[in-house]
Structure 1
């Protein structure tokens, strides 16, 4: 698994301290509850989320009513940054698939910081490149590889972004990842369990054996991981000579203590919860 940054979100960790400070004063810490719809396809993007934990899936909604996942982000990404291209409606639905926490900011506040920070603009470009790479690989994988190999790949993507070997995923979520019916998911899980890649699956969770799951996955997983890792960890995200919060634990602690204090003064921890559920 990829090492978790001390800051909590890898994109934010890559920013110089002064640039991150432009955002911290506006961040609101929120809880993301599982199955919450953050934004629906076609709706205006009103909030940007930088996950510290958990998993957000980007979903394409088809006219037939079917849905299929096209990408996932955890603490390696963000949701809602298309607003940086101007007032925007979301081209897809963003749904919390593993509960966690995130730093939330309004598009207007984010845009104001973006105009003052070349490092932040570089970070946005990095995220967009990483998401585009994920979209491209998922499309190719869906066309070329078996449903068993694709499910193994999706489970590995989730495992990279959550703690532990028990993944809190429902059969509905797995069906959405694959674009298949739940009955097909049941059959595929059974095959992966027979191979030892899945140790057990219960109601709303699935336990994996990572080495065997990697053996069951198609080559797309390693290709995607290497390509996106190169993009996200690119030196372009941090101009030479700039100190990053990840390099200075005291500095990052001070920044997030400041955000927490502002948050407490403005009403306590928020919750993005089941009011938007229904996807």
Structure 2
């Protein structure tokens, strides 16, 4: 299999690296196809591989007696598994799985650690991404505490659309309630509200975003802070 070229990869984080830093990772990157709900990193087990999404995205969830709740989402803007590795741990209590299937570039953790040890600039970029993930998690906590389910749904759909590059999502009410951290009856009510505003169109197992601008207005300041940090710190704009 030919090695991925920086000029053709879709992952924005890889594209933002210097040529020399990408070269440290390039020999170890392996393109893998993913499936819906596929486990990428399991809780409390050593992280063997990290993943740069090319198409599709992954979800990070925490769980307890109250059920599962999403605490992070990572697509082609980032690296799945960066937080524990960059912060000095070989494992995480959180579950990382495929929320939207596609392709990812996998790299084993030993190769990643070796590359980071060789390049301070690579470590700096990856730590900036860790910061952005922290901002996203903090923003999620803020939105979940301060806003209605409708607003939370609008924000989540905008984040998903950013990562799929399209307007249609496949999901169930059970899955959506877990992502939003709400009881199952709340999810269809929020969908009905957004349909009533003509922001989205829902069919069985599918949801289409019709008016992104209106969704952004509804999401208010709940959406956009992590995205702005990414533009500032990773893409320099």
Check whether TM > 0.5: yes
Q: Deviations over 1:49-73 (max 9, x none)?
A: 01111111111112x1511111111
Is the alpha carbon distance of 1:29 and 1:196 closer, same or farther for their aligned partners in structure 2, counting shifts above 3 Å? Answer: same
- Unaligned runs of 5+ residues in structure 1 are 236-279
Aligned length: 229
The answer for the alignment partner of 2:143 in structure 1 is: 141
SS of residue in 1 equivalent to 2:51: strand
The answer for the alignment partner of 2:3 in structure 1 is: none
Paired residues for 1:180-259 under 5 Å: 180-198=182-200, 200-209=201-210, 210-234=212-236
The answer for the alignment partner of 2:78 in structure 1 is: 77
Decide whether the 8 Å contact of 2:86 with 2:127 is kept in 1. no
Note the C-alpha offset of 1:87: 4.5
Query: Looking at both structures, which has the greater relative contact order when contacts are Cα pairs under 8 Å and sequence separation is at least 6?
Result: 1
SS of residue in 1 equivalent to 2:132: helix
SS of residue in 1 equivalent to 2:28: coil
SS of residue in 2 equivalent to 1:219: helix
Paired residues for 1:102-113 under 5 Å: 102-113=104-115
Give me the whole-angstrom Cα distance separating, in 2, the residues matched to 1:119 and 1:53: 26
RMSD between superposed Cα atoms in Å: 1.7
Paired residues for 1:28-47 under 5 Å: 28-47=30-49
Give me the whole-angstrom Cα distance separating, in 2, the residues matched to 1:122 and 1:97: 28
The answer for the alignment partner of 1:249 in structure 2 is: none
Decide whether the 8 Å contact of 1:67 with 1:179 is kept in 2. yes
Decide whether the 8 Å contact of 2:54 with 2:102 is kept in 1. yes
Larger Rg: 1
The answer for the alignment partner of 2:69 in structure 1 is: 68
Question: Could you tell me the TM-score, scaled by structure 2's length?
Answer: 0.90
The answer for the alignment partner of 2:123 in structure 1 is: 121
Give me the whole-angstrom Cα distance separating, in 1, the residues matched to 2:229 and 2:119: 26
Is the alpha carbon distance of 1:149 and 1:43 closer, same or farther for their aligned partners in structure 2, counting shifts above 3 Å? Answer: same
Note the C-alpha offset of 1:91: 2.8
Give me the whole-angstrom Cα distance separating, in 1, the residues matched to 2:70 and 2:203: 22
The answer for the alignment partner of 1:275 in structure 2 is: none
The answer for the alignment partner of 2:161 in structure 1 is: 159
Note the C-alpha offset of 1:170: 2.8
Note the C-alpha offset of 1:34: 1.1
Q: Are residues 1:10 and 2:27 paired? A: no
- Unaligned runs of 5+ residues in structure 2 are 1-6
Note the C-alpha offset of 1:6: 4.8
SS of residue in 2 equivalent to 1:186: helix
Q: Deviations over 1:159-200 (max 9, x none)?
A: 1111221122332331112111222111110111001111x2
Decide whether the 8 Å contact of 2:132 with 2:226 is kept in 1. no
SS of residue in 1 equivalent to 2:193: helix
Give me the whole-angstrom Cα distance separating, in 2, the residues matched to 1:225 and 1:80: 19
Q: Are residues 1:57 and 2:71 paired? A: no
